[in-house]
Amino acid sequence: MKHQLDALTTTRGIAALLVVVFHFGCTVFPFNLAEHFFRSGNLAVGYFFVLSGFVMYYTYHNRPRHYNLFLKKRLIRIVPAFYVALALSATWLIAEGGLSGPLFLRQMILNLTFTQAFFPGYALTINSPGWSLSIEMFFYLLFPALLAFANKDTRRFFWFFATFFLVSQVVHLMMVAKYKPQWGTAFHEFVYYFPLFHFNQFFVGMAGGYLYFQYKKRLIKYSSLWPLLTIILLVSVVPAAVSLHNGLLAPLFMLLVVAVALNNAAFLRWRPLVFLGEVSYGIYIFQEPVHKYVEDMNARYLHIPPQAIFYFYVLVLVGVAAICYYLVERPIRNMLNRA
């Protein structure tokens, strides 16, 4: 029976908070003292992709694969909170007059079906962090077939996807360098959010899962190097001369994931930190709607100073994520798993 990797769960919570700071807190003390670093906090989404590939391989690599059951478990995991966050965002936008008519209908259909990232111009609609869940869903649909391929001919699988990783990097970097996509355009969304350009990070995560199981005894002596890997990653993102958005850091992320999983450091298993990791999905997916409601409430009633409102927002966000986790996600998961 596999043991719970609580240290990795903690890193998921830290990554979610980095994304939140990137979106809403870069100019707030003390993050403004290293603003150049926190402006790269969106790269934590790439860490999620790598971690997802690792965890999927870790969980399922030696289990009988029942496709429908696998998809059911994945849908149970991500759909409830995603739909609650989507409803909160849509309600706010409708109240503000930002959604109506056929455009609203198209946006809702694409978001409800997790396909928004496949259609440039729609990737960031309604609840913008949801674009990454579009990619996660794509991976879940293909994962059983990928795992079967990996288990049947591991060497060919990893050579194939090492090639895929390199080609995807070259294509992405060439498009960024040559065409310089402008924020807000459909082409920018294609280059930065289209699922195929992020798929390589899942494969790197799966490779990490393979290394973990095949070479665990050899690698365990290097597991204490994870703080050094963390420092290398921190230095790597400040500020990069090339685009890192398409997974250029994925191999480093993978090494960090494997090292943390092997080391399972005690302080990363501290219960409050693990709790943040457990509710990290809610922290990530609710960050935009909660921010809209908190900012609106502050403008109308609270009048909290700009520097303090961010910390109030984070407390509310963690609270909403925890409420959703304990009152929506877990009960629905338990009920449907028994069905």
pLDDT in tens, 53-78: 999 999 998 876 688 888 988 999 99
pLDDT, position 1: 45
SS3 string, 35-51, reads HHHHCCHHHHHHHHHHH
pLDDT, position 236: 77
| pLDDT tens per residue across span 121-133 | 999 999 999 999 9
Average pLDDT over residues 154-179: 91
pLDDT, position 278: 96
Average pLDDT over residues 138-166: 91
Q: What b/e string do you get for 192-208 counting C-beta neighbours within 10 Å, with b at 16 or more? A: bbbbebbbbbbbbbbbb
pLDDT, position 62: 82
Q: Is the per-residue pLDDT at 98 higher than 80?
A: no
pLDDT, position 308: 95
CA atoms within 13 A on the CB side of 129: 31
Average pLDDT over residues 225-235: 84
Higher pLDDT among residues 244 and 291, named by residue: 291
Model confidence at 135, in pLDDT bands (50, 70, 90)?
Answer: very high
Highest mean pLDDT among 37-41, 91-95, 212-216, 311-315: 311-315
pTM: 0.95
pLDDT, position 2: 56
CB 282 within 8 A of CB 322: yes
Angle between helices 101-112 and 67-95 (to 10 degrees): 150
The percent of residues in the chain predicted with pLDDT above 90, rounded, is: 71
CB 48 within 8 A of CB 20: no
Question: Which residues touch 154 (CB under 8 Å, ≥6 apart)?
Answer: 210
The percent of residues in the chain predicted with pLDDT above 70, rounded, is: 96
What are the tokens at 188? Answer: 């920018």
- Using alpha carbons only, give the angle 66, 68, 73 rounded to the nearest 5 degrees: 95
**How high is the mean pLDDT of the chain?**
92
Q: Which of 195, 194, 227, 251 is nearest to 54 (CA)?
A: 251
Judging by beta carbons within 10 Å of its beta carbon (0-12, 13-18, 19+), is residue 319 exposed, middle or buried?
middle
pLDDT, position 64: 62
Question: Which residues touch 169 (CB under 8 Å, ≥6 apart)?
Answer: 200, 246, 247, 248
Q: Which of 15, 92, 51 is nearest to 297 (CA)?
A: 92
The C-alpha atoms of residue 314 and residue 218 are separated, in whole angstroms, by 41
Model confidence at 176, in pLDDT bands (50, 70, 90)?
Answer: very high
Q: Which of 136, 86, 73, 84 is nearest to 333 (CA)?
A: 73
Average pLDDT over residues 14-31: 96
